[in-house]
Chains A and B, each alone.
Chain A
Amino acid sequence: MGIGEIILISLVKILLIISLLFLTVSYLTYFERKISAWVQNRIGPNRVGWKGLLQPFADVFKLMLKEDIVPEKADRIIHLLAPMIALFVAFSTFAVIPFGPEVHLFGYDIPLVVADVNMGVLFVLALTSLSVYGLTLAGWSSGSKYSLLGGIRSSAQMISYEISMGFSIGGVLLLSESLRPIAIVESQSGWMWNAIVQPIGFITFLVSAFAETNRLPFDLPEAEPELVGGFHTEYSSMKFAAFFLSEYANMIIASGLIVTLYLGGWQIPYIDLLGLPSGLVALLQVGAFIFKLVAILFFFLWVRWSLPRFRYDQLMNLGWKVMFPLSLINIIWVALLIMIFGL
Protein backbone atom coordinates (compact mmCIF):
# COMPACT_ATOMS: atom_id res chain seq x y z
CA MET A 1 0.00 0.00 0.00
CA GLY A 2 1.54 3.25 -1.17
CA ILE A 3 1.51 6.46 0.78
CA GLY A 4 -0.93 7.94 -1.72
CA GLU A 5 -3.42 5.20 -1.18
CA ILE A 6 -3.14 5.52 2.57
CA ILE A 7 -3.84 9.24 2.32
CA LEU A 8 -6.76 8.62 -0.01
CA ILE A 9 -8.27 5.98 2.22
CA SER A 10 -7.79 8.18 5.27
CA LEU A 11 -9.43 11.12 3.51
CA VAL A 12 -12.41 9.00 2.56
CA LYS A 13 -12.67 7.80 6.13
CA ILE A 14 -12.38 11.32 7.49
CA LEU A 15 -15.07 12.61 5.16
CA LEU A 16 -17.31 9.70 5.99
CA ILE A 17 -16.82 10.14 9.71
CA ILE A 18 -17.31 13.89 9.64
CA SER A 19 -20.44 13.78 7.56
CA LEU A 20 -21.81 10.95 9.64
CA LEU A 21 -20.93 12.85 12.75
CA PHE A 22 -22.73 15.95 11.54
CA LEU A 23 -25.78 13.93 10.68
CA THR A 24 -25.74 12.13 13.98
CA VAL A 25 -25.31 15.35 15.87
CA SER A 26 -28.28 16.92 14.11
CA TYR A 27 -30.47 13.95 14.78
CA LEU A 28 -29.22 13.81 18.31
CA THR A 29 -30.75 17.24 18.83
CA TYR A 30 -33.93 15.93 17.25
CA PHE A 31 -34.04 12.94 19.55
CA GLU A 32 -33.12 15.06 22.51
CA ARG A 33 -36.32 16.98 21.90
CA LYS A 34 -38.35 13.92 21.12
CA ILE A 35 -37.23 12.06 24.22
CA SER A 36 -37.83 15.07 26.43
CA ALA A 37 -41.32 15.18 24.96
CA TRP A 38 -41.93 11.50 25.54
CA VAL A 39 -40.73 11.69 29.11
CA GLN A 40 -43.21 14.51 29.63
CA ASN A 41 -46.03 12.71 27.82
CA ARG A 42 -45.85 15.04 24.87
CA ILE A 43 -45.34 14.44 21.17
CA GLY A 44 -42.39 16.67 20.44
CA PRO A 45 -41.42 18.29 17.15
CA ASN A 46 -43.74 17.07 14.42
CA ARG A 47 -44.23 20.00 12.10
CA VAL A 48 -41.18 20.02 9.81
CA GLY A 49 -41.18 17.02 7.57
CA TRP A 50 -42.64 13.61 8.34
CA LYS A 51 -42.80 13.20 12.14
CA GLY A 52 -40.71 16.36 12.34
CA LEU A 53 -37.69 14.63 10.85
CA LEU A 54 -36.51 17.74 9.05
CA GLN A 55 -36.53 19.75 12.24
CA PRO A 56 -32.70 19.71 12.68
CA PHE A 57 -32.26 21.27 9.26
CA ALA A 58 -34.81 23.91 10.02
CA ASP A 59 -32.90 24.66 13.19
CA VAL A 60 -29.65 24.96 11.30
CA PHE A 61 -31.19 27.30 8.74
CA LYS A 62 -32.65 29.39 11.49
CA LEU A 63 -29.29 29.63 13.23
CA MET A 64 -27.58 30.57 9.98
CA LEU A 65 -30.06 33.35 9.37
CA LYS A 66 -29.58 34.80 12.84
CA GLU A 67 -27.54 37.91 13.37
CA ASP A 68 -24.08 37.28 14.74
CA ILE A 69 -23.78 39.49 17.79
CA VAL A 70 -20.44 40.18 19.42
CA PRO A 71 -20.60 42.12 22.68
CA GLU A 72 -18.82 45.46 22.73
CA LYS A 73 -16.58 44.47 25.65
CA ALA A 74 -15.68 41.09 24.14
CA ASP A 75 -12.20 40.05 23.08
CA ARG A 76 -13.17 39.66 19.46
CA ILE A 77 -10.44 37.27 18.33
CA ILE A 78 -10.76 34.87 21.23
CA HIS A 79 -14.50 35.20 21.08
CA LEU A 80 -14.29 33.93 17.52
CA LEU A 81 -11.64 31.34 18.31
CA ALA A 82 -13.37 29.68 21.24
CA PRO A 83 -16.18 27.93 19.36
CA MET A 84 -13.68 26.81 16.73
CA ILE A 85 -11.48 25.21 19.36
CA ALA A 86 -14.46 23.47 20.85
CA LEU A 87 -15.64 22.13 17.51
CA PHE A 88 -12.17 21.17 16.28
CA VAL A 89 -11.28 19.27 19.42
CA ALA A 90 -14.57 17.46 19.48
CA PHE A 91 -14.28 16.27 15.91
CA SER A 92 -10.62 15.29 15.96
CA THR A 93 -11.08 13.05 18.98
CA PHE A 94 -13.15 10.71 16.88
CA ALA A 95 -10.10 9.91 14.75
CA VAL A 96 -8.87 7.22 17.11
CA ILE A 97 -12.12 5.51 17.90
CA PRO A 98 -12.44 2.23 16.01
CA PHE A 99 -15.90 1.43 14.81
CA GLY A 100 -15.23 -2.01 13.36
CA PRO A 101 -12.58 -4.65 12.74
CA GLU A 102 -10.22 -4.65 9.77
CA VAL A 103 -12.08 -5.24 6.56
CA HIS A 104 -10.96 -6.32 3.13
CA LEU A 105 -12.24 -3.91 0.57
CA PHE A 106 -11.11 -3.55 -3.06
CA GLY A 107 -8.09 -5.66 -2.17
CA TYR A 108 -7.01 -3.53 0.74
CA ASP A 109 -6.92 -4.29 4.42
CA ILE A 110 -8.68 -1.31 5.92
CA PRO A 111 -8.90 -0.85 9.66
CA LEU A 112 -12.22 0.83 10.46
CA VAL A 113 -10.64 3.68 12.36
CA VAL A 114 -9.36 6.93 10.96
CA ALA A 115 -6.02 6.76 12.69
CA ASP A 116 -4.84 3.60 14.30
CA VAL A 117 -2.60 5.32 16.80
CA ASN A 118 -0.78 3.10 19.21
CA MET A 119 -1.35 5.51 22.04
CA GLY A 120 -4.89 6.44 21.02
CA VAL A 121 -6.27 6.57 24.54
CA LEU A 122 -3.63 9.07 25.53
CA PHE A 123 -4.59 11.10 22.45
CA VAL A 124 -8.17 11.14 23.58
CA LEU A 125 -7.24 12.26 27.08
CA ALA A 126 -5.01 14.97 25.66
CA LEU A 127 -7.69 16.32 23.35
CA THR A 128 -10.43 16.28 25.96
CA SER A 129 -8.14 18.31 28.19
CA LEU A 130 -7.80 20.73 25.33
CA SER A 131 -11.52 21.06 24.88
CA VAL A 132 -11.79 22.83 28.20
CA TYR A 133 -10.05 25.76 26.52
CA GLY A 134 -12.92 26.21 24.15
CA LEU A 135 -15.37 26.69 26.98
CA THR A 136 -13.13 28.65 29.31
CA LEU A 137 -11.99 31.02 26.60
CA ALA A 138 -15.55 31.49 25.45
CA GLY A 139 -16.53 32.45 28.96
CA TRP A 140 -13.59 34.71 29.46
CA SER A 141 -13.69 36.51 26.13
CA SER A 142 -17.39 37.36 26.22
CA GLY A 143 -16.91 40.07 28.81
CA SER A 144 -20.00 39.01 30.69
CA LYS A 145 -20.18 37.86 34.27
CA TYR A 146 -22.45 34.96 33.43
CA SER A 147 -20.15 33.74 30.72
CA LEU A 148 -17.13 34.11 32.96
CA LEU A 149 -18.74 32.14 35.77
CA GLY A 150 -19.70 29.47 33.27
CA GLY A 151 -16.19 29.31 31.92
CA ILE A 152 -14.65 29.06 35.36
CA ARG A 153 -17.05 26.37 36.38
CA SER A 154 -16.36 24.37 33.26
CA SER A 155 -12.61 24.45 33.73
CA ALA A 156 -12.83 23.47 37.40
CA GLN A 157 -15.32 20.74 36.65
CA MET A 158 -13.39 19.28 33.73
CA ILE A 159 -10.09 19.26 35.50
CA SER A 160 -11.63 17.58 38.53
CA TYR A 161 -13.32 14.85 36.61
CA GLU A 162 -10.43 14.27 34.24
CA ILE A 163 -8.52 12.80 37.15
CA SER A 164 -11.03 10.13 37.98
CA MET A 165 -11.51 9.55 34.29
CA GLY A 166 -7.80 9.01 33.81
CA PHE A 167 -7.56 6.65 36.75
CA SER A 168 -10.57 4.70 35.54
CA ILE A 169 -8.88 4.21 32.20
CA GLY A 170 -5.86 2.99 34.19
CA GLY A 171 -7.77 -0.14 35.08
CA VAL A 172 -8.59 -0.75 31.44
CA LEU A 173 -5.00 -0.28 30.39
CA LEU A 174 -3.77 -2.75 33.02
CA LEU A 175 -5.89 -5.43 31.41
CA SER A 176 -5.29 -4.59 27.76
CA GLU A 177 -1.58 -3.84 28.22
CA SER A 178 -1.89 -1.39 25.34
CA LEU A 179 -2.92 2.19 24.65
CA ARG A 180 -4.08 1.24 21.21
CA PRO A 181 -7.90 1.36 21.04
CA ILE A 182 -8.04 -1.61 18.67
CA ALA A 183 -5.96 -3.63 21.09
CA ILE A 184 -8.20 -2.59 23.94
CA VAL A 185 -11.25 -3.74 22.03
CA GLU A 186 -9.64 -7.00 21.14
CA SER A 187 -8.65 -7.62 24.74
CA GLN A 188 -12.33 -7.70 25.65
CA SER A 189 -13.12 -10.74 23.56
CA GLY A 190 -16.01 -12.96 24.57
CA TRP A 191 -17.77 -11.64 27.66
CA MET A 192 -14.60 -10.17 29.09
CA TRP A 193 -16.05 -6.69 28.70
CA ASN A 194 -14.45 -4.24 31.04
CA ALA A 195 -17.88 -3.12 32.21
CA ILE A 196 -18.33 -6.63 33.64
CA VAL A 197 -14.82 -7.18 34.85
CA GLN A 198 -14.41 -3.84 36.54
CA PRO A 199 -17.88 -2.38 37.25
CA ILE A 200 -16.56 0.30 39.60
CA GLY A 201 -14.28 1.63 36.90
CA PHE A 202 -17.17 1.58 34.46
CA ILE A 203 -19.34 3.64 36.74
CA THR A 204 -16.65 6.16 37.55
CA PHE A 205 -15.83 6.50 33.87
CA LEU A 206 -19.47 6.88 32.97
CA VAL A 207 -20.04 9.57 35.55
CA SER A 208 -16.86 11.36 34.55
CA ALA A 209 -17.96 11.18 30.94
CA PHE A 210 -21.17 12.97 31.87
CA ALA A 211 -19.20 15.61 33.64
CA GLU A 212 -16.70 16.00 30.83
CA THR A 213 -19.46 16.49 28.26
CA ASN A 214 -21.27 19.00 30.47
CA ARG A 215 -24.42 16.97 30.31
CA LEU A 216 -27.07 17.05 32.96
CA PRO A 217 -26.84 16.34 35.86
CA PHE A 218 -23.47 18.05 35.54
CA ASP A 219 -24.27 20.91 33.16
CA LEU A 220 -23.16 23.59 35.58
CA PRO A 221 -21.20 25.60 33.00
CA GLU A 222 -24.43 26.49 31.26
CA ALA A 223 -26.87 26.15 34.15
CA GLU A 224 -29.68 28.28 32.70
CA PRO A 225 -31.48 29.22 35.90
CA GLU A 226 -28.32 30.59 37.46
CA LEU A 227 -26.14 31.74 34.61
CA VAL A 228 -28.56 32.63 31.82
CA GLY A 229 -26.68 30.53 29.31
CA GLY A 230 -23.35 30.02 31.03
CA PHE A 231 -20.28 30.26 28.87
CA HIS A 232 -22.27 30.69 25.66
CA THR A 233 -24.54 33.47 26.92
CA GLU A 234 -23.04 35.99 24.52
CA TYR A 235 -22.95 33.74 21.50
CA SER A 236 -25.43 33.76 18.71
CA SER A 237 -25.89 32.51 15.21
CA MET A 238 -23.36 29.98 13.88
CA LYS A 239 -20.91 30.51 16.71
CA PHE A 240 -23.56 29.36 19.07
CA ALA A 241 -24.27 26.51 16.71
CA ALA A 242 -20.62 25.52 16.89
CA PHE A 243 -20.84 25.13 20.66
CA PHE A 244 -24.02 23.25 20.26
CA LEU A 245 -22.49 20.92 17.72
CA SER A 246 -19.39 20.35 19.77
CA GLU A 247 -21.43 19.50 22.84
CA TYR A 248 -23.31 16.83 20.95
CA ALA A 249 -20.15 15.64 19.16
CA ASN A 250 -18.56 15.30 22.58
CA MET A 251 -21.45 13.17 23.63
CA ILE A 252 -20.93 10.88 20.68
CA ILE A 253 -17.24 10.63 21.40
CA ALA A 254 -17.86 9.91 25.05
CA SER A 255 -20.28 7.21 24.03
CA GLY A 256 -17.75 5.88 21.53
CA LEU A 257 -15.13 5.76 24.25
CA ILE A 258 -17.43 4.02 26.66
CA VAL A 259 -18.24 1.45 24.04
CA THR A 260 -14.59 1.00 23.10
CA LEU A 261 -13.17 0.89 26.60
CA TYR A 262 -15.89 -0.91 28.49
CA LEU A 263 -18.45 -2.50 26.26
CA GLY A 264 -16.22 -4.50 23.97
CA GLY A 265 -16.18 -2.05 21.07
CA TRP A 266 -17.47 -3.54 17.88
CA GLN A 267 -17.30 -7.10 19.25
CA ILE A 268 -20.24 -9.43 19.37
CA PRO A 269 -19.39 -12.17 21.89
CA TYR A 270 -18.62 -15.56 20.35
CA ILE A 271 -19.72 -14.55 16.86
CA ASP A 272 -16.69 -16.39 15.41
CA LEU A 273 -18.16 -19.66 16.64
CA LEU A 274 -21.09 -19.31 14.24
CA GLY A 275 -18.81 -19.65 11.22
CA LEU A 276 -20.34 -16.81 9.24
CA PRO A 277 -18.55 -15.36 6.21
CA SER A 278 -16.06 -12.70 7.30
CA GLY A 279 -17.70 -9.92 5.29
CA LEU A 280 -21.01 -10.44 7.06
CA VAL A 281 -19.26 -10.67 10.41
CA ALA A 282 -17.55 -7.34 9.79
CA LEU A 283 -20.87 -5.78 8.84
CA LEU A 284 -22.58 -7.21 11.91
CA GLN A 285 -19.76 -5.93 14.04
CA VAL A 286 -20.05 -2.41 12.66
CA GLY A 287 -23.75 -2.75 13.36
CA ALA A 288 -22.99 -3.88 16.89
CA PHE A 289 -20.79 -0.87 17.43
CA ILE A 290 -23.47 1.48 16.19
CA PHE A 291 -26.09 -0.26 18.31
CA LYS A 292 -23.98 0.06 21.45
CA LEU A 293 -23.24 3.68 20.62
CA VAL A 294 -26.88 4.52 20.12
CA ALA A 295 -27.80 2.76 23.35
CA ILE A 296 -25.32 4.83 25.31
CA LEU A 297 -26.50 8.00 23.55
CA PHE A 298 -30.05 7.16 24.46
CA PHE A 299 -28.86 6.70 28.03
CA PHE A 300 -27.30 10.17 27.92
CA LEU A 301 -30.59 11.72 26.81
CA TRP A 302 -32.65 9.64 29.17
CA VAL A 303 -30.55 10.70 32.14
CA ARG A 304 -30.79 14.34 31.12
CA TRP A 305 -34.57 14.31 31.30
CA SER A 306 -34.67 12.32 34.51
CA LEU A 307 -32.17 13.81 36.91
CA PRO A 308 -31.92 17.29 38.35
CA ARG A 309 -28.77 19.34 38.25
CA PHE A 310 -26.18 18.92 41.01
CA ARG A 311 -25.24 21.83 43.17
CA TYR A 312 -21.70 23.05 42.56
CA ASP A 313 -20.39 21.89 45.96
CA GLN A 314 -22.04 18.51 45.46
CA LEU A 315 -20.36 18.26 42.10
CA MET A 316 -16.93 18.93 43.58
CA ASN A 317 -17.57 16.61 46.52
CA LEU A 318 -18.58 13.87 44.17
CA GLY A 319 -15.57 14.42 41.92
CA TRP A 320 -12.90 14.58 44.55
CA LYS A 321 -14.24 12.63 47.49
CA VAL A 322 -16.10 9.87 45.70
CA MET A 323 -15.07 9.40 42.10
CA PHE A 324 -11.36 9.86 42.63
CA PRO A 325 -11.06 7.32 45.52
CA LEU A 326 -13.36 4.92 43.69
CA SER A 327 -11.20 4.98 40.59
CA LEU A 328 -8.16 4.24 42.77
CA ILE A 329 -10.02 1.33 44.34
CA ASN A 330 -10.80 0.15 40.84
CA ILE A 331 -7.10 0.02 39.95
CA ILE A 332 -6.40 -2.05 43.06
CA TRP A 333 -9.31 -4.29 42.15
CA VAL A 334 -7.95 -4.86 38.65
CA ALA A 335 -4.47 -5.40 40.02
CA LEU A 336 -5.87 -8.03 42.40
CA LEU A 337 -7.67 -9.70 39.53
CA ILE A 338 -4.45 -9.86 37.54
CA MET A 339 -2.53 -11.15 40.55
CA ILE A 340 -5.06 -13.84 41.39
CA PHE A 341 -6.33 -14.95 38.01
CA GLY A 342 -3.35 -13.91 35.94
CA LEU A 343 -5.57 -12.33 33.32
Chain B
Amino acid sequence: MEQKSVKRRKKDLSFLERIYIPEILKGLSLTFKNMIRPKFTIEYPEERFIPSAAYRGRPVLIEENNGDERCVACGLCSRVCPALAIEVQAAETEREQERYPEKFEINMLRCIFCGFCEEVCPEEAIVMSKDYDLTFSNREEAIYGKDKLLVPVNQLQDRIDFLRKYK
Protein backbone atom coordinates (compact mmCIF):
# COMPACT_ATOMS: atom_id res chain seq x y z
CA MET B 1 0.00 0.00 0.00
CA GLU B 2 1.16 3.40 -0.84
CA GLN B 3 1.62 5.66 2.10
CA LYS B 4 -0.27 8.86 1.90
CA SER B 5 2.16 11.54 2.69
CA VAL B 6 0.63 14.76 3.90
CA LYS B 7 2.78 17.69 3.00
CA ARG B 8 2.75 20.61 5.35
CA ARG B 9 2.48 23.78 3.36
CA LYS B 10 3.61 27.11 4.60
CA LYS B 11 0.12 28.46 4.70
CA ASP B 12 -1.17 25.56 6.80
CA LEU B 13 -1.61 26.86 10.29
CA SER B 14 -0.91 25.03 13.51
CA PHE B 15 -3.69 24.62 16.03
CA LEU B 16 -2.56 27.56 18.10
CA GLU B 17 -2.46 29.71 15.02
CA ARG B 18 -5.84 28.47 13.92
CA ILE B 19 -7.58 29.61 17.04
CA TYR B 20 -6.35 33.08 16.25
CA ILE B 21 -6.26 34.39 19.77
CA PRO B 22 -2.54 34.11 20.52
CA GLU B 23 -1.75 35.55 17.10
CA ILE B 24 -4.15 38.39 17.63
CA LEU B 25 -2.58 39.13 20.98
CA LYS B 26 0.83 39.13 19.33
CA GLY B 27 -0.35 41.65 16.78
CA LEU B 28 -1.99 43.80 19.39
CA SER B 29 1.11 43.87 21.54
CA LEU B 30 3.17 44.93 18.53
CA THR B 31 0.92 47.83 17.72
CA PHE B 32 0.78 48.80 21.36
CA LYS B 33 4.55 48.90 21.53
CA ASN B 34 4.56 51.24 18.58
CA MET B 35 1.96 53.46 20.17
CA ILE B 36 4.29 54.37 22.97
CA ARG B 37 7.42 54.68 20.90
CA PRO B 38 8.74 58.13 20.03
CA LYS B 39 7.21 59.62 16.90
CA PHE B 40 9.08 60.16 13.67
CA THR B 41 6.99 63.05 12.46
CA ILE B 42 8.56 66.46 12.17
CA GLU B 43 6.04 69.25 12.55
CA TYR B 44 7.19 70.76 9.32
CA PRO B 45 6.49 74.45 8.96
CA GLU B 46 7.43 75.21 12.56
CA GLU B 47 10.15 72.62 12.87
CA ARG B 48 12.44 72.22 9.89
CA PHE B 49 14.36 69.25 8.66
CA ILE B 50 18.00 70.13 8.09
CA PRO B 51 19.43 67.56 5.71
CA SER B 52 22.97 66.29 5.81
CA ALA B 53 25.55 67.20 3.20
CA ALA B 54 24.61 64.06 1.28
CA TYR B 55 21.13 65.39 0.63
CA ARG B 56 20.23 66.28 -2.95
CA GLY B 57 18.04 69.36 -2.82
CA ARG B 58 17.51 71.86 -5.60
CA PRO B 59 20.56 72.32 -7.84
CA VAL B 60 22.24 75.72 -7.54
CA LEU B 61 25.07 77.54 -9.25
CA ILE B 62 28.09 78.53 -7.27
CA GLU B 63 28.77 82.23 -7.01
CA GLU B 64 32.38 83.04 -6.27
CA ASN B 65 33.27 85.46 -3.53
CA ASN B 66 33.79 88.22 -6.08
CA GLY B 67 30.24 87.77 -7.35
CA ASP B 68 31.08 85.95 -10.58
CA GLU B 69 29.56 82.62 -11.46
CA ARG B 70 31.95 79.71 -11.62
CA CYS B 71 30.04 78.10 -14.48
CA VAL B 72 31.62 78.19 -17.94
CA ALA B 73 28.40 77.21 -19.69
CA CYS B 74 29.85 74.03 -21.17
CA GLY B 75 26.36 72.57 -21.33
CA LEU B 76 27.30 69.16 -19.97
CA CYS B 77 24.70 69.42 -17.22
CA SER B 78 22.13 70.25 -19.84
CA ARG B 79 23.28 67.30 -21.90
CA VAL B 80 23.33 64.79 -19.08
CA CYS B 81 20.06 65.91 -17.52
CA PRO B 82 17.71 62.96 -18.00
CA ALA B 83 14.70 65.20 -17.63
CA LEU B 84 16.00 67.97 -19.91
CA ALA B 85 15.44 70.51 -17.20
CA ILE B 86 18.50 72.65 -17.84
CA GLU B 87 18.94 75.22 -20.56
CA VAL B 88 22.25 77.02 -20.92
CA GLN B 89 23.19 79.77 -23.32
CA ALA B 90 26.86 80.58 -23.35
CA ALA B 91 28.45 83.90 -24.17
CA GLU B 92 31.91 85.37 -24.28
CA THR B 93 33.44 87.18 -21.35
CA GLU B 94 36.62 89.10 -20.72
CA ARG B 95 37.35 87.00 -17.67
CA GLU B 96 39.99 84.30 -17.84
CA GLN B 97 37.44 81.56 -18.24
CA GLU B 98 36.41 83.08 -21.63
CA ARG B 99 32.92 81.71 -21.45
CA TYR B 100 30.05 82.26 -19.06
CA PRO B 101 26.35 81.43 -19.01
CA GLU B 102 24.41 84.35 -20.40
CA LYS B 103 21.30 82.40 -19.55
CA PHE B 104 21.08 79.48 -17.19
CA GLU B 105 17.63 78.15 -16.53
CA ILE B 106 16.50 75.10 -14.64
CA ASN B 107 12.91 74.11 -15.05
CA MET B 108 12.09 72.89 -11.58
CA LEU B 109 8.98 71.18 -12.89
CA ARG B 110 11.23 68.97 -14.97
CA CYS B 111 14.06 68.54 -12.46
CA ILE B 112 14.11 65.15 -10.77
CA PHE B 113 16.92 65.94 -8.32
CA CYS B 114 19.06 63.10 -9.60
CA GLY B 115 22.29 65.06 -9.18
CA PHE B 116 23.73 64.07 -12.56
CA CYS B 117 24.39 67.73 -13.34
CA GLU B 118 26.49 68.01 -10.24
CA GLU B 119 28.29 64.78 -11.00
CA VAL B 120 29.14 65.73 -14.56
CA CYS B 121 30.13 69.34 -13.91
CA PRO B 122 33.83 69.75 -14.73
CA GLU B 123 34.06 73.04 -12.85
CA GLU B 124 32.26 72.10 -9.64
CA ALA B 125 29.95 74.95 -10.52
CA ILE B 126 26.57 73.32 -10.04
CA VAL B 127 25.88 71.53 -6.79
CA MET B 128 22.83 70.18 -5.05
CA SER B 129 21.77 72.44 -2.21
CA LYS B 130 19.68 71.63 0.82
CA ASP B 131 16.59 73.44 -0.42
CA TYR B 132 13.68 71.06 -0.61
CA ASP B 133 10.54 73.10 -0.19
CA LEU B 134 10.07 74.68 -3.60
CA THR B 135 6.78 76.30 -4.37
CA PHE B 136 5.42 77.99 -7.43
CA SER B 137 1.98 78.73 -8.71
CA ASN B 138 2.58 78.56 -12.45
CA ARG B 139 4.89 77.09 -15.04
CA GLU B 140 6.76 80.31 -15.65
CA GLU B 141 7.61 80.70 -12.00
CA ALA B 142 8.98 77.17 -11.97
CA ILE B 143 11.76 78.11 -14.35
CA TYR B 144 14.60 79.28 -12.17
CA GLY B 145 17.00 81.68 -13.81
CA LYS B 146 20.42 82.82 -12.71
CA ASP B 147 18.90 85.20 -10.20
CA LYS B 148 17.51 82.29 -8.20
CA LEU B 149 20.24 79.79 -8.97
CA LEU B 150 23.35 81.67 -7.91
CA VAL B 151 24.28 80.97 -4.31
CA PRO B 152 27.46 82.23 -2.62
CA VAL B 153 30.10 79.55 -2.37
CA ASN B 154 30.49 79.74 1.41
CA GLN B 155 26.89 78.63 1.90
CA LEU B 156 27.60 75.46 -0.01
CA GLN B 157 30.95 74.56 1.52
CA ASP B 158 29.77 71.39 3.26
CA ARG B 159 28.34 69.98 0.04
CA ILE B 160 31.55 70.77 -1.82
CA ASP B 161 33.56 69.06 0.91
CA PHE B 162 31.24 66.09 0.71
CA LEU B 163 31.70 65.86 -3.05
CA ARG B 164 35.45 66.06 -2.84
CA LYS B 165 35.43 63.26 -0.32
CA TYR B 166 33.04 60.87 -2.01
CA LYS B 167 32.71 61.75 -5.70
Contacts and interface: CB of A to CB of B under 8 A. Distances in A.
Contact of B34 (A38, A43, A203): A38
B41 A42 contact: yes
B34 A302 contact: no
B41 A307 contact: no
A323 to B, nearest CB: 11
A306 interface: yes
Q: How would you classify the secondary structure of chain A's contact residues: helix, strand, loop or mixed?
A: loop
A200 to B, nearest CB: 11
Task: Specify the main secondary structure of chain B where it touches its partner.
Answer: helix
Given A35-B35, A38-B35, A306 B28 contact: yes
A303 B35 CA distance: 13
Interface residues of B, number: 16
Interface in B16-69: 21, 24, 27-28, 30-32, 34-41, 43
A41 B32 contact: no
A41 B31 contact: no
Interface residues of A, number: 14
Nearest to A217: B24
A46 B43 contact: yes
A115 B98 CA distance: 94
Contact of A305 (B24, B31, B39, B41): B31
Contacts of A303: 24, 28
B28 A42 contact: no
Interface string A187-206: 00000000000000001000
Interface in A23-43: 35, 38-43
Nearest to A303: B28
Given A303-B24, A306-B27, 15 more contacts: A35-B35, A38-B36, A38-B39, A40-B34, A41-B34, A41-B37, A41-B38, A41-B39, A41-B40, A43-B39, A46-B43, A302-B28, A302-B31, A303-B28, A306-B28
18 contacts: A35-B35, A38-B34, A39-B35, A40-B34, A41-B34, A41-B40, A41-B41, A42-B39, A42-B40, A43-B41, A43-B43, A203-B21, A303-B24, A306-B27, A306-B28, A306-B30, A306-B31, A307-B27
Interface of B: 21, 24, 27-28, 30-32, 34-41, 43
Interface of A: 35, 38-43, 46, 203, 302-303, 305-307
